[in-house]
Every structure is written in structure tokens, then in C-alpha cells.
Amino acid sequence: MLQFFRRKKRQKDAPAQGAPQPEPVTTPTPDPPAAGEQPKPKRRRGSRGGRGRKKKTEPAATAETKADPAKKQQSRPERKPAQRSSRSSTQRRRTPPRRAPLPAAKRELLVSVDVGEQRVAVLEDDKVAEVYLERPERRSIAGNVYKGVVDNVLPGMEAAFVEIGLEKNGFLYVDEIVVPELEGRRHGKKIQDLISRGQDVLVQAVKDPMKSKGARLTTEISLPGRFVVYVPSGEGLGVSRRLEDDERIRLRDIVKALDVKKGGVIVRTAAEGASAEDIERDLIFLQRLWKEIETGAKSAKAPALLYQEAELPLRVVRDLFTGDFEKRPRRTWPSASSATARRRR
């Protein structure tokens, strides 16, 4: 029985008689090259960048230039030098746009002083343009000079609190600290390296205190006059950009002739048309004022007020009053409704 099953298995595994046999696969052989012909090189598959390719023959002219470097330089086309921009470095700097002059109008300056309030109004064509109010109990401290004491230094905020004799200490930022030996290289200095707690410092108020914030302070003191601003710790000369170029050149020459040895000078817009005597008189007054402040700072005990800005009417006349205002007297005062509607734009 076992032999019978083995015989059946052998018959199944044996190929059937008469069945077609698979033909063997043959690769075509290339024809032999004819007599006198060179065999073509086989193409390499997958080659990149021209590997295995024959380099082209260079012309005789290029071969000569390789042999003689002088001819190679002559054969190169001359390159034109890069044309530099005609703009200078000063012209590339972005200059602030010059403000347009005020339109022609009839201007008047009205001042009213009372026990409880001081009022100043600027009228243009009999219409209220600006109104300034000030009361004795709420007088502005901007511009006042104090001798203060550093109460606390905060390295994390890069600021310090200075006691100047008010309810709240003033706020002094590191960029507002001007030291003569660090002039021009204050950037990157830490506040703990410039001032320390308990140190006396001469400061000027820049902004009035507001709500829970104290006054903003600076050590770069500036004293404004009628025609110029004197900066004792500064240097150089500046002229207002609102003026025309010819007027700026004239004023610059006047200040240069004064030969200011110490401090910087800034010529204001109100100096337009001013004579050299007027500018010199104004500068001499500010220099004497600074000497008085320095003398008072040596004897005063901090915190103390060394210099107080003028009252509102004098400040407005000093900063705003020019020759284009009407000079005729006026007794009436603009109504309260029109004044409050257009208060200090």
C-alpha cells in the first residue's frame, strides 16, 4: 500500500509528456566593429556631472593665454569701477521733517492774574487757540532744580528714587544720569556703578508727579532763556530746525563768536531776527544764574529747592510771545465756554 502512494507522488512530480518547455533567454550580442572603426565606449548609467565624458579641446587662443599671463590680462574685458552714490553720509541720515510755518493770522496774548488762579490765552483771529491755567496750590514743578538724596537704587529697574522734599520721591532713570567723566560713553553702564544710596545729587524735574507716580528727574540740567537754552553739563552748539537755512547759519556764527568755554548752547526759534547783543545778553544772564545755583548747592542741605521756574505768565511770554502778536490793549476776556472747549491743544 505504501508503495502505491509513492508511485502516485512520483507521477505528479514528473513533467507531463508533450508539454511545451520554456525557451532559454538569450541576450543579443553586439555586432563586431567593421575594419578600421574604433569601438564606441560603453555609456555609464547613473553618472552625473559629465563623468567619463571626453573634454573638449580648447582653441589655440586660449592655450596661448594660459602660456602667457600677460595676454590673459589683456584679453579680459575692463571692468568699470563701482560708482559710489553721490549722497554723503550726512545726507543718508534721516532728518526730521521741518514743521510748516504758522498760517498768517492776527494773534493776541491775553493774561489774567487772580488770587486763586492765573490764566493765559492765545487768540488767533479773535478765536481761542490755546489756554493755560495754573493755581498756586497746584503749581508745576517742571524745570525746578533740586539738591536731592538718593533714597533707593533698583538694579533690576535700572532706576533710582531720589528724595527732593516732596510727598513722593522722584524717579531717576539710568539714561538720565550724566557724569562728566562718562560723557559720550554712558551706554551699557549700570546704575549701581553711577550712584549709590545716600549720595547727594543735583537734579531737575522733567515731568510733574501724577497720581501714584513721582516726578521724573534728570541730572542734565538745562536753563531756558528768551533766545537760547544753556546746558551747563553739555557741549557743542545747536540751532532750531524750524528756522530757515540762512537764518540758522547767521545765528550759528553769532554763537560761535561768543566763544562759550563751558557748557552747551541751543538757539531757540524765538531768536529769529535777534541781534548779536540780544543773544549775548541772554547767555550771560543764564551763566550767572547757573553760578548762583552752584553756590547754593554747596551750602544747602539736601533735600532742598535751589531754583524755581518762573510763574505761568512769564513762562508763556518767554516761550510764545513773538513779533507777530498784536500790541493793542484789550480789556475783555474770552468766555469760559469757548476757553474750556479748546483748552491747550
Provide the pLDDT for residue 317. Answer: 86
Predicted local distance difference test score (pLDDT) of residue 279: 94
Give a yes or no: residue 1 inside a domain: no
Say yes or no: 285 and 321 in one domain.
Answer: no
Domain-embedded: residue 91: no
**Number of Cβ atoms within 10 Å of the Cβ of 261:** 5
Per-residue pLDDT at 212: 85
Q: How many domains does the chain have?
A: 3
| CB 134 within 8 Å of CB 140 | yes
**CA-wise closest residue to 263 among 234, 299, 240:** 234
Is 206 contained in some domain?
yes
- Residue 2's pLDDT is 53
- 288 and 344 part of one domain: no
Query: What are 228's strand-pairing partners?
Result: 267
Q: What pLDDT was estimated at residue 86?
A: 45
7 within domain boundaries: no
Sign of torsion, CA 223 224 226 232? Answer: positive
- Stated as kind and residue range, the H or E segment containing 66 is helix 60-67
Residue 57 included in any domain: no
Domain CATH for 157: 2.40.50.140
* Dmax (CA) of the chain: 149
Residue 272 lies in a domain: yes
Q: Final residue of a domain: which of 220, 237, 254?
A: 220
Q: What pLDDT was estimated at residue 325?
A: 76
Closest CA to 139 of 314, 331, 332: 314
Which pLDDT score is estimated for 53? Answer: 58
Say what the pLDDT of residue 337 is.
44
Domain end residue (candidates: 220, 252, 271): 220
> What's the average pLDDT block by block, 10 residues per block, for the chain (345 residues)?
57 53 55 59 57 55 52 52 47 54 76 90 89 89 94 92 93 85 58 91 94 92 94 90 92 91 91 92 94 94 92 87 66 49 44
Query: Does 323 fall in a domain?
Result: yes
Q: Is 108 contained in some domain?
A: yes
In this structure, the answer to whether residues 144 and 134 fall within a common structural domain is no
> Model's pTM, two decimal places?
0.63
Which of 173, 202, 220 corresponds to the end of one domain? 220
Q: Which of 151, 162, 172 is nearest to 217 (CA)?
A: 172
- Domain of residue 231 covers 222-296
